[in-house]
Amino acid sequence: MATMKAFHKIKDLREKDKQEAQRTYQRKVEEFEAIATELYQALKRKENAEAEFEAKVREGSLSAQYFVQYKDYLQRLDERILSLQPKVQEARERMEGQQETLNIAYIEFKKLEKLIENKRNLEEAHVKREETLFMDDLSLRQYSTFRNR
């Protein structure tokens, strides 16, 4: 069976894998947040433009030029929003996929930690059993020597 040193080397390797998966996941989260923020800002600009348009309609100070500009602006915002929505979904999927990879790396690391702990416990039990046998043998010899006197 493999030695403890080999198990610790494997554990170190798994820990590096886990840390790399964590860094990659963090990058995917940041990418998702950047794209989602961009979408949010576009939606907020559209909401603000609609509120401004509604206010101008209530005031009655709406020119034909402003109406055309507003329509063009809204159309560009809608196009931008429609182009960002699939990008946000793709970024979310990449982030979730990397999260799954991170979970697997974490589980593998924990399995190895548990394996090392079990191996250490077995070795300790073996040493304790050997010590007990040695002490029993020593006691038996002392008893035999004492009895023969």
What Rg value do the Cα atoms of the chain yield, rounded? 35
Coil, strand, or helix at residue 31? helix
Q: For 28-47, what is each residue's pLDDT tens digit?
A: 999 999 999 999 999 999 99
Which stretches of the chain are assigned E, i.e. beta strand?
none
Which domains does the chain show, CATH number per domain? 4-147 (1.10.287)
What was the pLDDT predicted at 37?
97
Q: Over range 53-79, report the average pLDDT.
A: 89
Beta strand ranges found along 14-134 (DSSP E): none
Q: Average of pLDDT values for 93-108?
A: 95
pTM value is 0.74
Is residue 5 very low, low, confident or very high in pLDDT (cuts 50, 70, 90)? confident
What is the tens place of the pLDDT at every residue in 108-143?
A: 999 999 999 999 999 999 999 999 999 988 888 888
The mean per-residue pLDDT over the stretch 4-24 comes to 91
Residue 31: CA count within 13 A, CB half-sphere: 17
Range name among 1-10, 61-70, 108-117 with the lowest pLDDT average: 1-10
67/73 Cα distance (integer angstroms):
10
CA distance 91 to 98: 11
